[in-house]
Structure 1
Amino acid sequence: MMASRLNAIQKDAEATKEALSHQLFEFQSSAQENHSVLHAQLSELVDYIHRGRADKKGESGSRGLQQPASTQIKGSAVTPTFEQRVEMAQRRIVHTVLDADANRALFERQDAAERDRERRRKEARSLKRRRRD
């Protein structure tokens, strides 16, 4: 009876470990993707800042003249201006950070639950040893 309970606990622990490993892999993949997106967005913001400084000094910006309208028209498609893209990028950054925080909190809760399960397993083993003695 005790052996079957221990087998069940061991299977549960292995399943939990596998699930956590899978979630960690997904989190790492997501973090890498978010890092790439943030890097691209930050590069675009830095370019924008440098172009603004160059414009103030009377120099031509690295991207040349921009159409001053609220939207730029390319072919038949309407695309947002750089400023609108910056605002969208800022919103994406905020959402990315919030999502990362939520994922981190989830993993912290799962880690705490795993530590609690491990503590209970140790207590059960200790109790079993005391019963044998």
Structure 2
Amino acid sequence: MAKRLTDILKDAEATKEALSHQLFEFHSQAQENHSVIHAQLSELVDYIHRGRADKKGEISSRGPQQPAGTQITGSAVTPMFEQRVQMAQRRIVQTVLDADANRALSQEAAERDRERRRKEARSLKRRRKD
């Protein structure tokens, strides 16, 4: 019986190590994806700003301009493209962070469940001995 418990313990430790390794790989991949998305969005914003800078000469000859970053249509204020890009970037980052937090919570719940089962198994084992 002790050998069987030792084998189960070794198997649980191996599973824990494998899951830890997978979690580390996932976290690394998420950080890499975040960096790639951030770089791509930064390039897009830079491209937009370059286009705007090229046109500044002709825009300034038109007279008074709207404040940078807003576009007024009727009585509503609509964010400019770069603001929408920044908002989308924030949403993407928040989505990734939320997914990581949810994953961590589900892993914690799974660990609590495993611990509860271990305690139940120990309790059953003690009852059988008595």
When normalised by structure 1's length, the TM-score is 0.52
Q: Distance in 2 between matches of 1:50 and 1:10?
A: 59
Corresponding residue for residue 117 of structure 1: 114
Question: Are residues 1:23 and 2:25 paired?
Answer: no
1:65-87: CA deviation from partner (whole Å, max 9, x where unpaired): xxxxxxxxxxxxxxxxxxxxxxx
> How far apart are 1:115 and its partner, in Å?
4.1
Give the unaligned 5+ runs of structure 2. 59-88
Q: Percent identity?
A: 80
Counterparts in 2 of 1:118 and 1:9: CA distance versus 1, 3 Å: farther
Corresponding residue for residue 10 of structure 2: 11
When normalised by structure 2's length, the TM-score is 0.53
Q: Distance in 1 between matches of 2:5 and 2:117?
A: 12
> How far apart are 1:113 and its partner, in Å?
4.8
Aligned-partner residue type, residue 41 of structure 2: L
Aligned-partner residue type, residue 48 of structure 2: I
Aligned-partner residue type, residue 130 of structure 1: R
Q: 2:128 aligns with which of 113, 128, 131?
A: 131
Paired positions, count: 93
Aligned-partner residue type, residue 57 of structure 1: K
SS of the residue corresponding to residue 57 of structure 2 reads: coil
